[in-house]
Amino acid sequence: MTMKSLGRHLIIELFHCDRAILNDQKTLENYLLEAVRLSGATTIQPFFHHFSPHGISGIILIAESHFAVHTWPEYGYCALDIFTCGEQIKAQEALVFLRGKLGAGTVSTMEIKRGILDLPQSEIRHKPDQGS
């Protein structure tokens, strides 16, 4: 029996980013929304918060899970999570886009398989059957 996961979670650290962008809530939100679109995911709802004196945290709930971001402009650092269910989402395309837009000099990525189930592939469903 083959082990199959429900989703994959990319834990991404971006260093030496453009500090102004990391502290610009509207621009950051627009970039994240575009990254979701490029990945092929379905946006449900974005929520972003700007901290005082600086830093932003945000999440975009997607039908396939979420994109989340936390910034430390004073260090040029951004923590990004891309958690998606299924095999159709192009998370790597979203990451390439965001790395460029944020001007990241260095990127570290770790991938974690989530929901590893000891079931046959035919029994793994990321969304309920429409007729059920």
Q: Which of the residues 57, 70, 108, 132 is marked catalytic?
A: 70
Catalytic (active site) residue 65: yes
Q: Which of the residues 65, 66, 108, 122 is marked catalytic?
A: 65
Q: Which of the residues 85, 108, 122, 126 is marked catalytic?
A: 85
Angle at CA of residue 54, ends 51 and 58, nearest 5°: 50
CB 16 within 8 A of CB 92: no
User: What's the gap between Cα 109 and its chain centre?
Assistant: 12
Rounded to whole angstroms, the Cα distance separating 67 from 83 reads: 6
Catalytic (active site) residue 85: yes
CB 90 within 8 A of CB 40: yes
Catalytic sites, residue numbers: 65, 70, 85
